[in-house]
Amino acid sequence: MQHLDFSILAEWQNIRLLLKSLWYTVAYTLAGFTLSIVVGTIISFGQMAKNRPIRFLSLAYLSWFRGTPLLVQLFLLYYGLPILFGIDTVPWVSGIIALAMYGGAYSSQIIRSTIQSIDRGQMEAGRSIGFSYAQTMRKIIIPQAVIRMLAPMTNELISLTKNSSLLSTITVVELFRQANILIADTYKTLEFLIAVAILYYVVNNIIGLIGMKLEKRLSTGDDMR
């Protein structure tokens, strides 16, 4: 029976590599999440559009990216583009794009549902004082919707952080892949897996705490329960 030896985690070289890869994980996730909000906004407004072809394309996008695993999408993007179109792919760029496209499908539902949850009278009030549709959305509807988005968007960011470990499958050296490299060098499997789990746990709980603080700070009396 093998005994656990956590002293391996106290070695500075291993600490440095894990923290460096954790930084990459956070950076890739935030980049993917930011782009996913852009994608999600486009898809959500596409779903609400009166134009039928635009609505159909938005629903098709949503159906595909919610109906297929992120791992498959990642492989199709990274390996498929060179095969089909001769496009050279960079692992970390492909990873960020895959996270953005996958996360965008889920973000679009959050954005759409929160916008539609705002009372229709708000739009009518905005139009009655001379605002255009775009102005009403920008100045009245979206600021209220953003507050309601905070909790589900925080959950989406946490989910994307965990899913970022799949980038290791296309050779992106993020936290999980770095741990696997160290495991191969030291044969200390469980020690490094526990360390990785703790690091993910800490990061995701920090995200959750920040989300709750922002929600509490931005909430108005009408939004408080």
CATH 1.10.3720.10 at 7-218, yes or no: yes
pLDDT for 135 equals: 82
Per-residue pLDDT at 28 exceeds 90? yes
What residues does each domain of the chain span?
7-218
CB distance 65 to 104 below 8 Å: yes
Q: Is the pLDDT of residue 17 over 80?
A: yes
Question: Model confidence over 111-164: pLDDT tens digits?
Answer: 999 998 888 888 878 878 888 877 888 888 888 888 899 999 999 999 999 999
Percent of the residues in the chain that have a pLDDT greater than 90, as a whole number: 75
- Which residue in the block uniquely carries the two structure tokens 């919707």? 145
Cβ atoms of 200 and 175 within 8 Å: the answer is: yes
Contact predicate 40/104, CB 8 Å: yes
Separation between Cα atoms, residue 86 and residue 89, nearest integer Å = 9
CB within 8 Å of 82: residues ≥ 6 apart: 88, 89
Name the token pair of 48: 């609400």
Q: Is the pLDDT of residue 1 over 70?
A: no
Q: How confident is the model at residue 220 (pLDDT cuts 50, 70, 90)?
A: low
Tokens 């656990």 identify what position? 4
C-beta separation of 32 from 160 below 8 A = yes
pLDDT digits (tens, 9 = 90+) for 60-96: 999 999 999 999 999 999 999 999 999 999 999 999 9
DSSP three-state, residue 11: coil
Question: What string of DSSP letters covers 45-112?
Answer: HHHH-S-HHHHHHHHHHHHHHHHS-HHHHHHIIIIIHHHHH-----HHHHHHHHHHHHHHHHHHHHHH
Q: What number is the average pLDDT over the span 23-47?
A: 97
- pLDDT (mean) for 159-182: 96
Locate all alpha helices (DSSP H) within 118-188, ordered by sequence. 120-128, 133-136, 142-163, 175-186
Regarding predicted confidence, which is higher, 133 or 99? 99
CB 178 within 8 A of CB 18: yes
